């Protein structure tokens, strides 16, 4: 179908500070005991896309990711891993692989996407509307992942402060305006020319950019060549394309409109004339995923927890595991002590041992963990080879590989880095804990 | 033709009987299916006279059956089964060309009221416009069209010694000359250069012998061989005779006039003899095997479970059958429209064998981004052009065959997205014909460039230039002070109006529109922006606005060989109202949209749209009484796309070959 796929896998993300480490770069972070990158690769594989370019930041990450891919996907996918220097951004990464791109259209997918939206749908919309760029937009789940790291834990009750502002035309196919959450202050500035050309714009704050874009290769490369300052696809390239869709000068005098409460606005302009759409130089389109589809990005610790919970819970079909009658996944080799309960939406992987009178609810426990007796684990993610001794209480936390929790440790909303040891009886709340 | 006239007086053809009915008094000689399966239409008289009891069997067998008027291709395949389709058209054309018109009229004489041979012959002469399309030789085509423009019925005049007005008379007078009938028909078979007399003779003999035994449709081995030989020979004959004979008769205008005659004959018979129709239906299992490969879906009956199952297996796009299907339209595909697009979209990367541009066009059909006969046809051809451009022959395959199968798979994909329009069928047939005629010695690049330029010329000459010529003709019909009524959104009509406005003519326009598409609004906006004075109204007010209207301009999706205009639903209503008000109705239609099919109603062939759209009222979200209509078992919504306007209500047809005034019979 003349499409090439570039997967932006990333490297050591700062947002996920204590979780990622030398051994565990972001693409390999386990989501329900599978690297997060595997979700994207399998989504693409299901869509019959077998020639992929995976771009990662840093040579050593490339080695690790490449090693894992060649082991897991031998004979299934044809993957080329490209290493780019860190901090070049997604646009820089695309520039680095630009000479490999030959197809008519390029599908750029973020490596941290966990979704079941078929990429074909985005590509088909792109082709059907003959667009320059098509973005996948998802409806943000009500209690779903937010962009900000700070919203972990204590400010749960507060309204999520940042949202994407998206302007759509009345058919909800064309994108007229995008503003990423961070750039949005009190006012939204909308270009008058675009509003005039369309007559009507629907502004929505409940849509999330899923970082799956279909670009026309020629246009993308032109932009990348001309604008060397562009750093990120999402923040630079994509808004630029949307802004210049009429090839008019970017006017800052656009009428500011107030209010963004997540509701829909309809700004009525001159005349709802759809034919005027033809005079634009390139079309920017959106594919809005169905509400029933799962779609989220692993770009924060909160998101990491949410995705882990969802994948073994409501979006269970993504994990590829079969659920037991209790609606959980317990590996046959896992050992449970007496009076230990594993609730629904839990996952217990091979070789893990739980002592007596433990309780696990809505949590994922990795391979070969040793958990003593009388341990309570709620809403948490425990990775591989973790030792948790008797009487620990863990809630809303992430415990990385090889960490050790001695007796009676109490953790609430903490992140424990790889190999970190927590001493007897220590209590922590909302803290990242890792080796310095 | 006394019987024909008689039936016409007894039953007014304008009254259409629809649905289920009993054939009250089946006349014995009607069931043409008997000769139909046996072979050449030429032997009809012999057969009929020898086997009247057989026909009775069929009639009694199938007395309670729904009417189904077979698509003409099938009919011709049945009727001229032994000769093959191509030969079928040549046979009759040949007869017309060589013999005097009387023989044609004479043929039916001994048979009685209505019979298929008349039908087929009449039709196959109709078939000629499209058969000229088939092996469209541009120079030839131009010659014929030039001749056509000269006089609207020039073609007819060439074939018949009389002028078009007198054709009716000729037919009437033909009735008084029964002596010629049997002989002349036989000579049709013999006149064919390469269908050897032996073949024809044996098959006739066989038929005569085997008729009593053959109550079922099984043919003997020898017969089948004879049939095959006949087909082969006929094909060769068709090639030779085709160019000369067809081109002489390749006239849309002439065809139309004849269509009128044929129609009047078909109409009453259709009403009376459901059984004849039904017995024909029995045969379409076997004989149309070769016909169905050609354009499978057009003859596909969706109430035929076996075939639907088969079609499902090879389907590219998953369809979800609608839950509340409308009983009367069960033979047409009725799908849930909601899940179609997501399903197709998610399969985007799985459909590797579909060329991207074809896929894009298919999606545009599905979503309705591309609509309108000309636009769809043009887009399809351009997509095929791109596909041909990117095509490279795999090793060990001949380009002609491989490309043909590719195009066929593209076509079936497009059909899955939306059923083809008749004009698209014509265009596809043209393209396939060009591919089939590619010289095997030609290099691939040469063949490709040939095809590309062929497609280019088709788009140019048949659509773009044709539209210009139509505008040129039709503008002469607009005078100062006219009030023109238009319906829907026809691109040609729009061009005509704009051109007339540019020429400085003073006229007003009444734009009539209808739910659910409101295509007229877009047209209205364009017209108003150009400064034309317009009135906008909906179809339900048509009788009020018709008082002041002086001319009605309508577009058409297709014009069929019996003169029926197949067009956007509502057109028939407009045409009938204007007929009642004695306002002339002008149909603007490119010649490539003509088809040899015969339709008597809009039931047996139509397209069904998404029923949900008619349950919603635009701009009134409060009106949601039909919100969950599909939960009600007793409620079915029907959203028809097309309707058929009988030629009686059409005053004039404007094509690029000239203006043909339809004869009011």
Searching chain B, which residue's CA lies closest to the CA of residue A289?
Answer: B342
Sorted by sequence, the CB contacts under 8 Å of residue A387 that are 6+ apart come out as A369, A370, A371, A403, A404, A405
Q: Tell me, what's the pLDDT at B437?
A: 86
pLDDT for A276-286, tens place per residue? 444 557 788 88
pLDDT at A379 > cutoff 80: yes
pLDDT for B402-423, tens place per residue? 888 888 889 988 888 888 888 8
Q: Tell me, what's the pLDDT at B574?
A: 93
Is B345 within 8 Å of A49 when comparing Cβ atoms? no
Nearest CB to A2; choose among B351, B356, B522: B356
Mean pLDDT of B441-459: 88
Mean pLDDT of A383-403: 88
End-to-end CA distance of chain B: 15
Q: Tell me, what's the pLDDT at B319?
A: 61
3-state helix, strand, coil split of chain A in percent (to 5) is: 25, 30, 45
Q: Tell me, what's the pLDDT at B320?
A: 64
pLDDT at B56 > cutoff 70: no
Nearest CB to B342; choose among A47, A104, A121: A121
Is A118 within 8 Å of B348 when comparing Cβ atoms? yes
Is B346 within 8 Å of A47 when comparing Cβ atoms? yes
Confidence class for position B103, pLDDT limits 50, 70, 90: very low
Q: Tell me, what's the pLDDT at B538?
A: 92
Q: Tell me, what's the pLDDT at B535?
A: 92
Q: Tell me, what's the pLDDT at B173?
A: 41
pLDDT for A143-201, tens place per residue? 444 444 333 444 343 344 456 788 888 878 888 888 776 666 667 777 777 777 777 88
Of the listed ranges A211-220, A237-246, A318-327, B193-202, the least confidently predicted one is B193-202
Q: Does A49 touch chain B (CB under 8 A)?
A: yes
Q: Tell me, what's the pLDDT at B75?
A: 39
Q: Which residue has the higher pLDDT, B386 or B249?
A: B386
pLDDT at B133 > cutoff 90: no
Is A128 within 8 Å of B350 when comparing Cβ atoms? no
| Separation CA B416–CA A1 (nearest Å) | 19
pLDDT for A125-151, tens place per residue? 888 888 888 988 888 765 444 444 333
Of the listed ranges B202-216, B307-321, B444-458, B470-484, the least confidently predicted one is B202-216
Confidence class for position B79, pLDDT limits 50, 70, 90: very low
pLDDT for A322-346, tens place per residue? 777 777 888 888 888 888 888 888 8
Q: Tell me, what's the pLDDT at B233?
A: 64
Mean pLDDT of B16-37: 45
pLDDT for B317-361, tens place per residue? 556 666 677 777 878 877 777 677 777 777 777 777 888 888 888
Searching chain A, which residue's CA lies closest to the CA of residue B370?
Answer: A128
Here the contacts of B541-544 (C-beta below 8 Å, separation 24 or greater) are B542/B512, B542/B573, B542/B574, B542/B577, B543/B577
The three-class DSSP label of residue A361 is strand
A107 Cα distance to chain centroid:
16
| Separation CA A63–CA A83 (nearest Å) | 9
Bridge partners, A106 (sequence order): A4, A215
Radius of gyration of chain B from its Cα atoms, rounded to whole angstroms: 25
Mean pLDDT of B78-88: 40
Q: Which residue has the higher pLDDT, B411 or B76?
A: B411
Mean pLDDT of chain B: 66
* A162 phi/psi in degrees, rounded to 5: -115, 140
- CB count within 10 Å of CB B330 equals 14
| Separation CA B34–CA B214 (nearest Å) | 10
Confidence class for position A242, pLDDT limits 50, 70, 90: confident
H or E element: which one contains A8? Answer: strand A3-10
Q: Are B250 and B144 in contact (CB under 8 A)?
A: yes
Q: Tell me, what's the pLDDT at B613?
A: 81
Confidence class for position B47, pLDDT limits 50, 70, 90: very low
| Separation CA B557–CA B488 (nearest Å) | 12
pLDDT at B545 > cutoff 70: yes
Q: Tell me, what's the pLDDT at B359?
A: 87
Q: Tell me, what's the pLDDT at B323?
A: 66
Q: In B60-149, which ranges are E strands?
A: 65-66
Searching chain B, which residue's CA lies closest to the CA of residue A43?
Answer: B346
Is B522 within 8 Å of A290 when comparing Cβ atoms? no
Q: Are A220 and A107 in contact (CB under 8 A)?
A: no
Mean pLDDT of chain A: 78
Sorted by sequence, the CB contacts under 8 Å of residue A390 that are 6+ apart come out as A355, A372, A373, A374, A375, A407, A408
Q: Strand A329-330 and strand A133-139: pairing?
A: unpaired
Q: Tell me, what's the pLDDT at B444?
A: 83
Sorted by sequence, the CB contacts under 8 Å of residue B362 that are 6+ apart come out as B344, B354, B413, B414, B416, B417, B418
Of the listed ranges A295-309, A346-360, B107-121, B295-309, the least confidently predicted one is B107-121
Specify whether the backbone of B88 is left (phi greater than 0), alpha (psi in -120 to 50) or beta: alpha
pLDDT at B494 > cutoff 80: yes
- Which residues on chain B place their C-beta less than 8 Å from a C-beta of chain A? 342, 344-352, 356, 359-360, 363-364, 367, 369, 522, 525
Q: Which residue has the higher pLDDT, B586 or B243?
A: B586
Query: Residue B346 is encoded by which pair of tokens?
Result: 């998610």
Give A48's contacts in chain B (Cβ within 8 Å).
349-350, 352
pLDDT at B470 > cutoff 90: yes
Q: Tell me, what's the pLDDT at B226?
A: 64
Instruction: Give this complex's ipTM.
Output: 0.75
Mean pLDDT of B141-162: 39
pLDDT at B635 > cutoff 90: no
Confidence class for position B549, pLDDT limits 50, 70, 90: very high
Residue located via tokens 């009106």: B623
| Separation CA A361–CA A394 (nearest Å) | 11
pLDDT for B185-243, tens place per residue? 333 333 334 433 444 444 444 444 444 444 444 555 666 676 677 677 666 655 554 44
Q: Which of A424-433, B160-169, B304-313 has the largest mean confidence?
A: A424-433
Is A128 within 8 Å of B363 when comparing Cβ atoms? yes
pLDDT at B21 > cutoff 90: no
CA distance B366 to chain A (A): 10
Is A2 within 8 Å of B363 when comparing Cβ atoms? no
Q: Tell me, what's the pLDDT at B554?
A: 92
List, as ranges, residues 99-158 from A with C-beta within 8 Å of B: 104, 118-121, 123-125, 127-130
pLDDT at A121 > cutoff 70: yes
Disruptive mutation site among B342, B348, B387 for chain A (greatest number of A CBs within 10 Å): B348
- Separate counts of helices (H) and strands (E) for chain B: 30, 13
Q: Tell me, what's the pLDDT at B242?
A: 45
| Separation CA B615–CA B625 (nearest Å) | 8
Give B352's contacts in chain A (Cβ within 8 Å).
1, 48
* B356 phi/psi in degrees, rounded to 5: -55, -40
Q: Tell me, what's the pLDDT at B301?
A: 67
Q: Which residue has the higher pLDDT, A268 or B327?
A: B327
Kindly state the percentage of chain A with pLDDT values over 70: 85
Q: Which residue has the higher pLDDT, B340 or A31?
A: A31
pLDDT for B641-660, tens place per residue? 899 999 889 999 999 988 88
Q: Tell me, what's the pLDDT at A414?
A: 86
Q: Are A341 and A358 in contact (CB under 8 A)?
A: yes
Burial B62-75 (b: 16+ CB within 10 A, else e): beebbbbbbbbbbb
Rounded to 5°, angle at Cα B341 from A205 and B295: 160
């Amino acid at each position: 179908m003349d499409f090439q796929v570039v997967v932006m896998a990333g490297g050591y993300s700062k947002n996920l500070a204590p979780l990622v480490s030398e051994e565990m770069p972001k693409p390999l972070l386990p989501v329900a005991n599978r690297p997060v990158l595997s979700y994207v690769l399998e989504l693409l594989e299901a869509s019959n896309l077998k020639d992929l370019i995976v771009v990662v930041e840093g040579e050593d990450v490339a080695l690790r990711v490449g090693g894992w891919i060649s082991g897991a996907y031998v004979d299934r996918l044809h993957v080329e891993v490209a290493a780019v220097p860190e901090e070049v951004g997604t646009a820089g990464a695309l520039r680095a692989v630009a000479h490999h791109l030959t197809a008519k259209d390029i599908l750029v997918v973020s490596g941290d996407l966990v979704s079941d939206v078929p990429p074909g749908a985005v590509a088909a919309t792109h082709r059907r509307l003959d667009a320059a760029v098509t973005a996948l937009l998802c409806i943000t789940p009500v209690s779903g992942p937010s962009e900000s790291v700070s919203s972990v834990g204590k400010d749960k009750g507060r309204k999520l402060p940042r949202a994407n502002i998206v302007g759509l035309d009345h058919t909800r196919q064309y994108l007229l305006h995008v503003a990423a959450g961070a750039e949005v202050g009190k006012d939204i500035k909308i270009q008058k020319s675009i509003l005039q050309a369309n007559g009507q714009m629907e502004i929505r704050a409940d849509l999330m950019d899923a970082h799956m874009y279909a670009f026309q290769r020629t246009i993308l490369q032109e932009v990348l060549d001309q604008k060397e300052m562009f750093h990120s696809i999402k923040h630079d390239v994509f808004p630029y394309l949307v802004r210049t869709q009429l090839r008019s000068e970017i006017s800052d005098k656009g009428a500011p409109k107030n209010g963004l409460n997540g509701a829909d606005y309809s700004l009525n302009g001159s005349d709802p004339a759809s034919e005027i759409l033809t005079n634009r130089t390139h079309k920017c389109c959106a594919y809005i995923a169905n509400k029933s589809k799962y779609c989220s990005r692993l770009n924060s610790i909160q998101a990491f927890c949410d995705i882990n919970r969802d994948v073994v819970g409501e979006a269970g079909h993504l994990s590829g595991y079969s659920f037991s009658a209790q609606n959980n996944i317990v590996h046959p080799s896992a050992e449970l002590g007496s009076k230990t309960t594993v609730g629904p939406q839990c996952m217990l992987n091979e070789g893990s041992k739980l002592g007596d009178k433990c309780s696990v609810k809505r949590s994922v426990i990795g391979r070969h963990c040793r958990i003593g007796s009388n341990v309570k684990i709620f809403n948490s993610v425990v990775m591989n080879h973790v030792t948790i001794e008797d009487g620990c209480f863990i809630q809303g936390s992430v415990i990385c590989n090889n960490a050790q929790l001695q007796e009676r440790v109490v953790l609430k909303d903490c992140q424990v880095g790889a190999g970190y040891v927590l001493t007897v009886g220590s209590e922590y709340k909302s803290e990242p804990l890792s080796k310095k | 033709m006394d019987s024909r006239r008689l039936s016409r007086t007894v039953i007014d053809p304008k009254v259409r009987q629809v649905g289920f009915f009993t054939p009250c008094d089946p006349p014995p000689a009607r069931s043409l299916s008997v000769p139909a399966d046996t072979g050449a239409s030429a032997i009809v008289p012999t057969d009929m006279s020898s086997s009247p009891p057989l026909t009775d069997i069929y009639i009694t067998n199938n007395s309670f059956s729904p009417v189904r008027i077979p698509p003409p291709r099938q009919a011709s395949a049945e009727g001229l089964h032994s000769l093959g389709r191509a030969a079928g058209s040549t046979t009759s054309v040949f007869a017309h060309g060589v013999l005097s018109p009387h023989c044609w009229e004479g043929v039916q004489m001994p048979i009685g009221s209505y019979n298929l041979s008349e039908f087929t012959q009449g039709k196959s002469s109709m078939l000629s416009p499209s058969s000229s399309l088939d092996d469209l030789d541009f120079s030839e085509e131009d010659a014929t069209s030039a001749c056509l423009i000269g006089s609207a019925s020039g073609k007819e005049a060439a074939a018949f010694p009389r002028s078009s007005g007198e054709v009716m008379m000729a037919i009437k007078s033909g009735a008084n000359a029964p002596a010629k009938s049997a002989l002349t028909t036989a000579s049709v078979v013999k006149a064919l250069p390469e269908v050897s007399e032996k073949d024809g003779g044996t098959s006739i003999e066989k038929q005569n012998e085997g008729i009593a035994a053959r109550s079922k449709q099984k043919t003997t081995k020898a017969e089948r061989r004879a049939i095959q030989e006949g087909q082969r020979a006929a094909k060769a004959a068709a090639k030779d005779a085709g160019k000369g004979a067809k081109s002489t008769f390749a006239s849309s205008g002439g065809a139309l006039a004849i269509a009128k005659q044929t129609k009047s004959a078909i109409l009453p018979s259709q009403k009376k003899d459901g059984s004849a129709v039904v017995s024909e239906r029995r045969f379409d299992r076997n004989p149309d095997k070769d016909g169905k490969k050609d354009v499978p879906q057009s003859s596909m009956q969706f109430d035929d479970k076996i075939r639907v199952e088969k079609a499902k297996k090879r389907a590219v796009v998953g369809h979800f059958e609608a839950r509340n299907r409308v009983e009367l339209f069960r033979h047409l595909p009725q799908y849930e429209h909601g899940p179609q697009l997501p399903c197709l979209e998610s399969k985007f990367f799985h459909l590797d064998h579909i060329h991207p541009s074809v896929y894009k066009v298919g999606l545009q059909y599905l979503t309705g981004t591309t609509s309108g006969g000309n636009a769809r046809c043009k887009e399809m051809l351009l997509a095929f052009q791109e596909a041909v451009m990117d095509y490279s022959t795999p090793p060990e395959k001949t380009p002609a065959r491989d490309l043909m199968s590719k195009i066929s798979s593209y076509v079936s994909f497009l059909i899955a997205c939306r059923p083809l329009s008749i004009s698209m069928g014509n265009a596809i047939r043209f393209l396939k014909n060009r591919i089939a005629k590619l010289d095997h010695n030609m290099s691939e690049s040469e063949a490709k460039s040939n095809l590309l330029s062929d497609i280019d010329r088709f788009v140019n000459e048949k659509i773009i230039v044709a539209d210009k010529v139509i505008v040129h003709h039709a503008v002469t019909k607009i005078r100062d002070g006219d009030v023109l009524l238009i319906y829907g959104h026809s691109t040609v009509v729009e061009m005509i109006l704009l051109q007339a406005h540019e020429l400085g003519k003073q006229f007003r326009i009444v734009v009539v529109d209808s739910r659910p598409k409101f295509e007229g609004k877009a047209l209205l906006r364009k017209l108003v922006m150009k400064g034309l004075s317009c009135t906008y109204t909906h179809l339900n007010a048509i009788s009020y606005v018709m008082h002041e209207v002086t001319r009605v301009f309508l577009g058409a999706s297709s014009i069929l060989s019996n003169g029926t205009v197949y067009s956007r639903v509502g057109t028939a209503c407009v045409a009938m109202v204007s007929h009642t008000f004695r306002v002339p109705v002008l149909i603007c239609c490119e010649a490539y949209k003509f088809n040899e099919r015969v339709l008597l109603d809009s039931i047996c062939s139509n397209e069904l749209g998404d029923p949900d759209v008619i349950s919603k009222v635009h701009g009134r979200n409060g009106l949601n009484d039909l919100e969950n209509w599909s939960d009600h078992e007793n409620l079915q919504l029907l959203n028809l796309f097309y309707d058929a306007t009988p030629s009686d209500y059409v005053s004039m047809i404007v094509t690029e070959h000239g203006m043909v005034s339809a004869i009011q019979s």
